[in-house]
Amino acid sequence: MAEPFEVNDETWQELVLNSDTPVMVDFWAEWCGPCKMIAPAVHDMAVDYDGQMKVAKLDVDNSPNTAMQYGVRSIPAL
């Protein structure tokens, strides 16, 4: 069973951009209530679309550079 996996500024290129499989990224933060609300749906997408896409999670507090590069100004963002 597929699970969402963590990415950060250092692993972004390797795990997301270089992936042979499409990757949906959940930009989130620990303090974000709405992020916690959608977390079960994000997990379900990883399971339901296993083999068709991967689901990654990027904590914007720990990896602000990637979030800024992609114009993430509010979270949650997919």
Q: What is the CATH number of the domain that holds 40?
A: 3.40.30.10
User: Mapped to the 3 state alphabet, what secondary structure does 24-63 carry?
Assistant: EEEEECCCCHHHHHHHHHHHHHHHHCCCCCEEEEEECCCC
Q: Which residues are annotated as catalytic?
A: 32, 35
The reported pTM is: 0.94
Residue 77 belongs to some domain of the structure: no
Assess if residue 61 is contained within a domain. Answer: yes
Cis bond upstream, residue 4 (ω within 30): no
Q: Give me the domain span that covers residue 31.
A: 5-12+22-69
CA 47 to chain centre: 14
pLDDT tens-place string over residues 43-73: 999 999 999 999 999 999 999 999 999 999 9
